[in-house]
Amino acid sequence: MGLDDITRKIAAAEAAAGRAPGSVQLIAVSKVQPAERVEAVLRAGHRLFGENYVQESAAKWPAWRAEFPGVAVHMIGPLQTNKAKQAVELFEAIHSVDRPSLATKLASLAQVRGRSPEVFIQVNTGAEPQKAGILPEGVDAFVAEVRALDLPLVGLMCIPPEGEDPAPHFAMLAGMAARNGLSGLSMGMSSDFEAAIAAGATHVRVGSAIFGARDYSARH
Ligand SMILES: *Cc1c(COP(=O)(O)O)cnc(C)c1O
Protein backbone atom coordinates (compact mmCIF):
# COMPACT_ATOMS: atom_id res chain seq x y z
CA MET A 1 0.00 0.00 0.00
CA GLY A 2 1.03 3.64 0.20
CA LEU A 3 0.11 6.89 -1.53
CA ASP A 4 0.98 5.84 -5.11
CA ASP A 5 -0.88 2.59 -4.79
CA ILE A 6 -4.03 4.26 -3.45
CA THR A 7 -3.87 6.99 -6.09
CA ARG A 8 -3.71 4.30 -8.79
CA LYS A 9 -6.60 2.38 -7.28
CA ILE A 10 -8.72 5.53 -7.12
CA ALA A 11 -8.03 6.24 -10.80
CA ALA A 12 -8.98 2.66 -11.69
CA ALA A 13 -12.18 2.87 -9.62
CA GLU A 14 -13.11 6.18 -11.30
CA ALA A 15 -12.62 4.60 -14.71
CA ALA A 16 -14.53 1.44 -13.77
CA ALA A 17 -17.47 3.57 -12.63
CA GLY A 18 -17.39 5.67 -15.79
CA ARG A 19 -16.45 8.75 -13.79
CA ALA A 20 -14.14 11.56 -14.88
CA PRO A 21 -10.47 11.25 -13.91
CA GLY A 22 -9.84 13.39 -10.84
CA SER A 23 -13.50 13.48 -9.80
CA VAL A 24 -12.61 11.85 -6.46
CA GLN A 25 -10.50 13.74 -3.92
CA LEU A 26 -8.22 11.70 -1.70
CA ILE A 27 -8.19 12.87 1.92
CA ALA A 28 -5.10 11.34 3.50
CA VAL A 29 -6.16 10.72 7.10
CA SER A 30 -3.08 11.57 9.16
CA LYS A 31 -4.49 11.41 12.70
CA VAL A 32 -2.12 9.87 15.23
CA GLN A 33 0.51 9.11 12.55
CA PRO A 34 4.18 9.86 13.27
CA ALA A 35 5.45 13.09 11.72
CA GLU A 36 7.91 11.36 9.40
CA ARG A 37 5.13 9.38 7.69
CA VAL A 38 3.08 12.53 7.10
CA GLU A 39 6.11 14.46 5.87
CA ALA A 40 6.89 11.74 3.35
CA VAL A 41 3.40 12.13 1.87
CA LEU A 42 3.74 15.95 1.87
CA ARG A 43 7.09 15.67 0.09
CA ALA A 44 5.49 13.37 -2.47
CA GLY A 45 3.26 16.33 -3.32
CA HIS A 46 0.00 15.38 -1.63
CA ARG A 47 -1.80 18.35 -0.07
CA LEU A 48 -5.21 17.22 1.25
CA PHE A 49 -5.34 15.68 4.72
CA GLY A 50 -7.92 14.62 7.29
CA GLU A 51 -7.72 14.90 11.05
CA ASN A 52 -9.94 13.85 13.97
CA TYR A 53 -8.68 15.91 16.89
CA VAL A 54 -8.54 19.69 17.25
CA GLN A 55 -5.67 19.69 19.76
CA GLU A 56 -3.50 17.37 17.70
CA SER A 57 -4.16 19.37 14.54
CA ALA A 58 -3.28 22.65 16.23
CA ALA A 59 0.04 21.17 17.29
CA LYS A 60 0.96 19.74 13.88
CA TRP A 61 -0.44 21.72 10.97
CA PRO A 62 0.64 25.36 11.34
CA ALA A 63 4.31 24.45 10.75
CA TRP A 64 3.52 22.12 7.86
CA ARG A 65 1.28 24.74 6.23
CA ALA A 66 4.18 27.18 6.32
CA GLU A 67 6.56 24.63 4.83
CA PHE A 68 4.24 23.10 2.19
CA PRO A 69 2.09 25.71 0.41
CA GLY A 70 -1.35 24.61 -0.68
CA VAL A 71 -2.10 22.30 2.22
CA ALA A 72 -5.77 21.78 3.11
CA VAL A 73 -6.89 19.95 6.24
CA HIS A 74 -10.41 18.60 6.73
CA MET A 75 -11.90 17.82 10.15
CA ILE A 76 -13.50 14.37 9.93
CA GLY A 77 -13.89 13.49 13.63
CA PRO A 78 -16.56 14.45 16.18
CA LEU A 79 -16.40 18.16 17.00
CA GLN A 80 -17.31 19.53 20.42
CA THR A 81 -19.10 22.86 20.24
CA ASN A 82 -16.58 24.40 22.63
CA LYS A 83 -13.80 23.60 20.14
CA ALA A 84 -15.63 25.06 17.14
CA LYS A 85 -13.86 28.42 17.39
CA GLN A 86 -10.47 26.77 17.19
CA ALA A 87 -11.67 24.39 14.47
CA VAL A 88 -12.79 27.10 12.06
CA GLU A 89 -9.27 28.53 12.15
CA LEU A 90 -7.64 25.16 11.54
CA PHE A 91 -9.70 23.45 8.85
CA GLU A 92 -10.84 24.14 5.28
CA ALA A 93 -13.81 21.80 5.72
CA ILE A 94 -15.71 20.10 8.55
CA HIS A 95 -17.25 16.73 7.65
CA SER A 96 -18.83 16.02 11.03
CA VAL A 97 -21.60 18.60 11.43
CA ASP A 98 -24.21 16.47 13.14
CA ARG A 99 -26.44 18.63 15.33
CA PRO A 100 -28.22 21.99 15.40
CA SER A 101 -26.14 23.40 18.27
CA LEU A 102 -22.91 22.89 16.34
CA ALA A 103 -24.38 24.34 13.13
CA THR A 104 -25.61 27.39 15.02
CA LYS A 105 -22.19 27.88 16.60
CA LEU A 106 -20.42 27.57 13.23
CA ALA A 107 -22.87 30.06 11.72
CA SER A 108 -22.22 32.65 14.40
CA LEU A 109 -18.46 32.20 13.96
CA ALA A 110 -18.92 32.64 10.21
CA GLN A 111 -20.80 35.89 10.81
CA VAL A 112 -17.94 37.27 12.87
CA ARG A 113 -15.16 36.07 10.57
CA GLY A 114 -16.87 36.69 7.25
CA ARG A 115 -15.98 33.20 6.05
CA SER A 116 -16.46 29.58 7.04
CA PRO A 117 -14.97 26.19 6.35
CA GLU A 118 -17.06 24.12 3.95
CA VAL A 119 -19.59 21.92 5.73
CA PHE A 120 -20.60 18.29 5.31
CA ILE A 121 -23.46 16.85 7.36
CA GLN A 122 -22.62 13.52 8.98
CA VAL A 123 -25.41 10.97 8.60
CA ASN A 124 -25.75 7.92 10.85
CA THR A 125 -26.92 5.70 7.99
CA GLY A 126 -26.98 2.58 10.19
CA ALA A 127 -28.90 4.36 13.00
CA GLU A 128 -26.26 3.05 15.42
CA PRO A 129 -26.89 4.35 18.96
CA GLN A 130 -23.18 4.85 19.73
CA LYS A 131 -22.39 6.64 16.49
CA ALA A 132 -22.55 10.35 15.72
CA GLY A 133 -24.62 11.70 12.88
CA ILE A 134 -28.11 12.81 11.95
CA LEU A 135 -30.53 9.90 11.62
CA PRO A 136 -31.66 9.23 8.03
CA GLU A 137 -35.23 10.44 8.67
CA GLY A 138 -33.92 13.79 9.95
CA VAL A 139 -31.54 14.59 7.11
CA ASP A 140 -33.81 16.68 4.85
CA ALA A 141 -34.90 18.94 7.73
CA PHE A 142 -31.32 19.37 8.95
CA VAL A 143 -30.10 20.21 5.43
CA ALA A 144 -32.72 22.96 5.31
CA GLU A 145 -31.68 24.19 8.75
CA VAL A 146 -27.98 24.38 7.82
CA ARG A 147 -28.83 26.18 4.58
CA ALA A 148 -31.01 28.66 6.44
CA LEU A 149 -27.99 29.46 8.61
CA ASP A 150 -26.08 30.43 5.44
CA LEU A 151 -23.33 27.90 6.05
CA PRO A 152 -21.46 26.69 2.94
CA LEU A 153 -23.00 23.22 2.87
CA VAL A 154 -21.37 21.05 0.20
CA GLY A 155 -22.38 17.49 0.99
CA LEU A 156 -23.04 14.53 3.24
CA MET A 157 -20.68 12.18 5.07
CA CYS A 158 -21.13 8.69 6.53
CA ILE A 159 -19.25 5.89 8.28
CA PRO A 160 -21.08 2.59 7.61
CA PRO A 161 -21.48 0.10 10.47
CA GLU A 162 -18.53 -2.23 11.04
CA GLY A 163 -18.90 -5.70 9.66
CA GLU A 164 -21.74 -4.83 7.30
CA ASP A 165 -21.67 -4.50 3.54
CA PRO A 166 -21.07 -0.74 3.14
CA ALA A 167 -22.60 -0.54 -0.35
CA PRO A 168 -26.24 -0.02 0.76
CA HIS A 169 -25.08 2.73 3.14
CA PHE A 170 -23.16 4.48 0.36
CA ALA A 171 -26.19 4.20 -1.92
CA MET A 172 -28.45 5.59 0.82
CA LEU A 173 -26.15 8.58 1.34
CA ALA A 174 -25.93 9.22 -2.41
CA GLY A 175 -29.73 9.19 -2.66
CA MET A 176 -30.11 11.65 0.23
CA ALA A 177 -27.54 13.98 -1.32
CA ALA A 178 -29.17 13.84 -4.75
CA ARG A 179 -32.66 14.60 -3.50
CA ASN A 180 -31.27 17.55 -1.53
CA GLY A 181 -29.24 18.94 -4.43
CA LEU A 182 -25.89 18.31 -2.73
CA SER A 183 -22.92 17.29 -4.87
CA GLY A 184 -20.40 16.33 -2.14
CA LEU A 185 -20.24 12.74 -0.88
CA SER A 186 -17.61 12.03 1.79
CA MET A 187 -17.58 8.25 2.06
CA GLY A 188 -15.12 5.37 1.85
CA MET A 189 -12.10 4.51 4.00
CA SER A 190 -9.11 2.17 3.61
CA SER A 191 -11.22 -0.96 3.42
CA ASP A 192 -14.04 0.25 1.19
CA PHE A 193 -13.04 3.34 -0.83
CA GLU A 194 -13.46 1.53 -4.15
CA ALA A 195 -17.07 0.60 -3.33
CA ALA A 196 -17.64 4.21 -2.26
CA ILE A 197 -16.29 5.51 -5.58
CA ALA A 198 -18.59 3.13 -7.44
CA ALA A 199 -21.48 4.66 -5.48
CA GLY A 200 -20.45 8.25 -6.28
CA ALA A 201 -18.02 9.35 -3.53
CA THR A 202 -16.40 12.72 -4.21
CA HIS A 203 -14.13 12.55 -1.13
CA VAL A 204 -12.61 9.32 0.17
CA ARG A 205 -10.96 9.35 3.61
CA VAL A 206 -8.05 6.92 3.59
CA GLY A 207 -5.65 6.59 6.52
CA SER A 208 -3.99 3.29 7.31
CA ALA A 209 -3.77 2.14 3.68
CA ILE A 210 -1.54 5.16 3.00
CA PHE A 211 0.39 5.61 6.25
CA GLY A 212 0.26 2.16 7.86
CA ALA A 213 -1.50 1.15 11.04
CA ARG A 214 -2.11 3.79 13.70
CA ASP A 215 -0.37 3.30 17.06
CA TYR A 216 -2.62 5.04 19.60
CA SER A 217 -0.29 4.09 22.46
CA ALA A 218 2.40 6.35 20.97
CA ARG A 219 0.21 9.46 20.95
CA HIS A 220 1.94 12.56 22.24
C1 LIG B 1 -9.76 7.41 11.03
C2 LIG B 1 -10.84 7.70 10.07
C3 LIG B 1 -10.71 7.38 8.70
C4 LIG B 1 -9.53 6.61 8.12
O5 LIG B 1 -9.64 5.27 8.48
P6 LIG B 1 -8.70 4.15 7.78
O7 LIG B 1 -9.42 2.89 8.04
O8 LIG B 1 -7.39 4.25 8.47
O9 LIG B 1 -8.60 4.47 6.35
C10 LIG B 1 -11.73 7.77 7.85
N11 LIG B 1 -12.82 8.42 8.29
C12 LIG B 1 -12.98 8.75 9.59
C13 LIG B 1 -14.20 9.47 10.02
C14 LIG B 1 -12.00 8.39 10.51
O15 LIG B 1 -12.19 8.69 11.81
The response to whether residue 208 sits with its C-beta less than 6 Å from ligand 1 reads yes
Instruction: For 84-103, give the DSSP string.
Output: HHHHHHH-SEEEEE-SHHHH
132 lines ligand 1 (CB under 6 A): no
Residue type for position 111: Q
pLDDT score for 115? 97
* DSSP letter, residue 192: T
Q: If you measure from the C-alpha of residue 145 to the centroid of ligand 1, how many angstroms do you get, rounded to a whole number?
A: 27
DSSP states of 101-148 as a string? Answer: HHHHHHHHHHHHHS---EEEEEE-TT--TTS-SB-GGGHHHHHHHHHH
What is the CATH architecture of 3-210? Answer: Alpha-Beta Barrel (3.20)
CB distance 210 to 1 below 8 Å: yes
Q: What whole-number percentage of the chain has pLDDT above 90?
A: 97
CB atoms within 10 A of CB 55: 10
Q: How much is the pLDDT for 216?
A: 87
**32 in ligand 1 pocket by Cβ < 6 Å?**
no
Sign of torsion over alpha carbons 81, 130, 96, 149: negative
Q: Does position 219 have pLDDT exceeding 70, yes or no?
A: no
- Residue 83: the pLDDT is 98
Average pLDDT over residues 26-48: 98
* Virtual torsion, Cα 197, 153, 156, 5, nearest 10 deg: 30
Among candidates 157, 150, 167, 126, which has minimal Cα distance to 27? 157
Nearest to 26 by CA among 60, 1, 50: 50
- Minimum mean pLDDT among 1-5, 137-141, 143-147, 183-187: which range? 1-5
- Whether the per-residue pLDDT at 220 is higher than 60: the answer is no
Q: What are phi and psi of 63, to 5 degrees?
A: -70, -40
Is residue 203's pLDDT more than 80? yes
Average of per-residue pLDDT values in the chain: 97
Closest Cα to atom 11 of ligand 1: 205
pLDDT in tens, 90-137: 999 999 999 999 999 999 999 999 999 999 999 999 999 999 999 999
**Measured between alpha carbons, how far is 198 from 18 in angstroms, rounded to an integer?**
9
